[in-house]
Amino acid sequence: MIAIIDYDAGNLKSVEKALKYLGQDVIVSRDSSEILQADKVILPGVGSFGDAMNNLDHFNLVDTIKKVAEKDTPFLGICLGLQLLFEKSDETPGAEGLGILKGEILRIPPKEGLKIPHMGWNSLNIKPQARLFDGIANNSYVYFVHSYYLKAEDENIVAASTEYSTHIHASVESGNIFACQFHPEKSSDVGLRILKNFASL
């Protein structure tokens, strides 16, 4: 059973639909006991860092997510869900993130000829041993929509990166914690393979 966390800040339906297409047993829930009993957990996310953290706090999900991380349940953050795993973001100064991983969430710097948000398909530089990208060719394209990006403190947790105005840490893996800045559920066959890899962990 894969639990998708519902906190009124995510693209839940598209993630759920992609997983069901892959034949996975899925629930969408904000019930802590259901989430803690799941075999795997996904935190999607669309919107602002501060609002999302307020919602997680409102639904008493902050401690639940930290317990999932501590008990070695495979956990996947998607888009804003990646950013929330870190301590803070330039998007909402003063707002505390989950702090499960260490790094900075920074605004993509303006660059002539490039639009912000970074929106559309971009290629990934994938590390050879990245479990989420098993069977996926380096420089494969995935779909991004974001104005803020991760700069992880520990380069060793970076599974894939991309270039858009700056060097962007596009995916991380640390123990049972996985996260993607891009949207695998909107990234065609490559994205489906990523979700399948996560489901198969």
176 alpha-carbon distance from chain centroid: 13
Q: Which of 16, 91, 173, 185 is catalytic?
A: 185
The burial class, CB within 10 Å (0-12 / 13-18 / 19+), for 75 is: buried
Residues 6+ apart with CB under 8 A from 24: 2, 199
The candidate with the shortest Cα–Cα distance to 14, out of 176, 169, 188, 159, is: 188
- Among 16, 79, 91, 118, the active-site one is 79
**Which residues on neighbouring strands pair with residue 125, listed in sequence order?**
161
Catalytic residue among 118, 146, 169, 183: 183
79 catalytic? Reply is: yes
Q: Is residue 185 annotated as a catalytic residue, yes or no? A: yes
How many C-beta atoms lie closer than 10 Å to residue 154's C-beta? 11
At what angle are helices 188-199 and 12-21 packed, to 10 degrees?
Answer: 80
Active site residues: 79, 183, 185
